[in-house]
Structure 1
Amino acid sequence: MQGTLFVSQTGLTAQDAKMTTISNNLANVNTVAFKRDRAVFNDLFYQKQFQAGAQMDAENQRPNGLQIGTGVQVVGSQKLFAQGSALTTGVETDISIVGKGFLQIEMPDGSTAYSRDGQLHINSDGMLVNAAGLPLIPQITVPENAMGISIGTDGTVSATISGSADPEELGNITLAGFVNPGGLEAIGGNLFIETQGSGAPMEGVPGEDYFGSLKQGTLEGANVNVAQEMVDMIATQRAYEMNAKVMTAADEMLQTLNRTM
């Protein structure tokens, strides 16, 4: 019975972790470029009483072994980087990445973070920055007398300057890619940082080789499917209830055993 209680407890812990993951996905259903998570489970080690194929006597072998599982554990959470739906905003500083790649963001300590969130702004110095005021890498500065901004699919940023007939090129937005984007570490603020699991970043031009193109006036929505999350939530709730019932049943069996002794 003690083993049953332990196994049930691991089940409760695992389902609680999955429910937390689902709730975070649903909480971020309207977060720009949010990538949903899924919990990854593994079964725990097995208590082996005897091995399949063991000799029962001089002529016969056991057709099956006896292995008793000890429960489940959460071994990780995986970011799923499927493309989110396009949200048309018409704002000239909004961009979405259609395909693979990340915008490069300069952190306050000088390090580089990565983001799919193309909700850009112009700060008081004229630089293109994210919602937290952190500048793009490479930095792009918009002149005060700019009448309008154009961002090409290849990342070329141009502005129409007052008194000039021809647009002026201000710079180029480049993208970074990773062999294993699922290995990136999410740090909040729609930002990720490099880890050993993600591999080193590869920088490139939007629309070339590995990288997706940019689309001005749009944002990438969260890739959360609300209907699927609700189905997963119900299934997780039922699994939690079943583990709790097993724990209750095991406790009742222990009480019955104690009364008969």
Structure 2
Amino acid sequence: MIRTMTTAVNTMNQLQHRLDLIGNNLSNVATHGYKATDAKFQELLYQQMNNDKADQAPRRSEDGIRIGVGARIGSLQMNWKVGAVQVTGRPLDFALTAPKQYFNVIRPTDGGEEIIYSRKGNFYVSPTANGQNMLVNDEGLPVADSAGRPIVLAGDATNYHVQPNGVLEVTHPGGTQRIELGITVLEKPDSMVQLSATNFGLPEDMAALGIAANDLLTEMTGVGRSEIGLQNQALETSNVHYEKEMTDLIATQRAYQFNARSVTLADQMLGLINGIR
């Protein structure tokens, strides 16, 4: 009975983590550029109990029974597939249509600034002190150009258009300003650190991990910019599949209820044993 309760409680703790994960995916169904995450389970330590050697009955199943101590989350896998493109008609909405390509965004740190990466392309203009505008994302963080500098636009801009190669054309009465948007390919996205729902950054201690930034990132510069995929006046939607998440939610809830029922039954049986006089 104690083994049954231990097995069920171990599994319930891990199922709770999966419920939280599914809830997070569902809450970000409408978040542009969000990538869904799924949990993979694996069995904990188990004990193999073989049948008696005298048992020669033909069988299709393995000899004996296997008694485990529950399951645990073996890995968290993020779905890096490109989400559907939603046309918005807004001039400063840009959708990346190629996989693993991310906009470069500048985030302040204690010691200065760092570049982080996001596929959320709804940008805005923020006025600066000298009468110009800075291109920022919905969090107010500056969007970086291909050189890693904040993008500063003319204050009297009348139109914005981005070329497929990531060149932003800003039209104003004095002419046309052309700026290369900073876009990076995450070669090994699973090695990146998720900073928020849509932002990713480099691991803090890469030297200890034996990796370099060049192993994880490829800056889209020069002739490589021809591989950039961008669409004007559109945003990439979340790649969360609502139907799949709801199915996984129901299955996980039933598994949790089954294990909770196992704990209840084991407790009742222990009560019956203790009540024997």
TM-score, normalization by structure 1? 0.86
Moved more, 69-78 or 224-233: 69-78
**Which of 133, 141, 144 does residue 140 from structure 2 map onto?**
133
Counterpart AA for 2:183: L
Aligned residues: 250
Q: What are the residue-to-residue correspondences of 1:44-123 with 2, within 5 Å?
A: 44-48=44-48, 64=63, 67-100=66-99, 101-109=101-109, 110-123=113-126
Q: CA deviation at 1:257?
A: 2.0
- 5+ long unaligned stretches in structure 2: 55-61
Q: 1:212: how far off?
A: 4.2
> 2:162 matched to which residue of 1?
151
Check the 8 A contact 1:177/1:211 in 2, yes or no. Answer: no
| Residue of 162, 173, 176 corresponding to 1:162 | 173
8 A Cα contact 2:170 2:177, kept in partner = yes
1:132 is matched by which residue type in structure 2? E
**C-alpha distance in 2, partners of 1:172/1:12?**
50
Structure 1 contact 36–79 (Cα < 8 Å) conserved: yes
Asked whether 1:31 is paired with 2:31, we answer: yes
Flag structure 1 segments of 5+ consecutive residues without an equivalent: 58-62
SS at structure 2 position matched to 1:113: strand
1:12 positional shift: 1.0
Residue identity matched to 1:168? Q
> What corresponds to 1:247 in structure 2?
263
Q: What letter corresponds to residue 121 of structure 2 in structure 1?
A: G
In 2 relative to 1, CA 206–120 (structure 1 residues): closer, same or farther, beyond 3 Å? farther
- Structure 1 residue 46, shift from structure 2 partner: 1.9
* Displacement over 4 Å in runs of 4+: 196-199, 205-212
> AA paired with 1:68?
I
TM-fit CA distance, 1:190: 2.2
Distance in 2 separating the partners of 1:28 and 1:2: 40
Percent sequence identity over aligned pairs: 27
2:194 to 182, 186, 189: 186
Q: Over residues 151-200 of structure 1, what are the superposed CA-to-partner deviations in whole Å (9 max), with x where a residue is unaligned?
A: 11101111222144xx332x101321223213322222621112358952
CA-atom RMSD, angstroms? 2.6
Partner residue in 2 for 1:60: none
Provide, for residues 70-110 of structure 1, a one-character-per-residue CA deviation record: whole Å limited to 9, x for no partner: 11112332221111111111111110100121111111121
Shift of 1:221: 0.6
Secondary structure of 1:153's partner? coil
Amino acid in structure 1 at the alignment position of 2:42? N
Alpha-carbon distance change, 231 to 151 in structure 1, aligned in 2, over 3 angstroms: same
Preserved contact between residue 80 and residue 182 of structure 1 (Cα < 8 Å): no
